[in-house]
Amino acid sequence: MDKISLVAMASIFAAGLTMAIGSLAPALGMGRSIQQALAAIAQQPDERNSLTRTLFVGLAMIESIAIYCFVISMILIFANPFWGHFLKAGG
């Protein structure tokens, strides 16, 4: 197996691992925050509008972590910074 194939396999594995961990943690966080928001709305129905607005802002912040992981995995697959180094070294 040559170096280029090894870099390609490592990049694909790292991208898959990045997406697996990077989507699992935000999903758990979103579920927990929705659970707490629904409990708070059940206790204080008058504050529903402010709780909902705050919930959506928090969910957007949590979702941005998954989006960053997606961007990193796409960079690893399609615009890998290590390709140039190994192509020069390999000839």
Q: What is the mean pLDDT of residues 4-29?
A: 91
CA distances, 88 to each of 21, 77, 78, 82, 83 (Å): 33, 19, 18, 10, 9
User: Does 58 score more than 80 pLDDT?
Assistant: yes
Q: Is the dihedral of CA 59, 20, 81, 75 positive or negative?
A: negative
Residue 41 resides in a domain:
yes
User: Does 64 score more than 80 pLDDT?
Assistant: yes
Q: What is the mean pLDDT of residues 37-49?
A: 95
Tell me the CATH number at 32.
Answer: 1.20.20.10
Quote the pTM value: 0.77
Instruction: Say what percent of the chain tops pLDDT 70.
Output: 98
Residue 87 resides in a domain:
no
* Host domain of residue 27: 3-80
Q: Is the dihedral of CA 27, 30, 36, 40 positive or negative?
A: negative
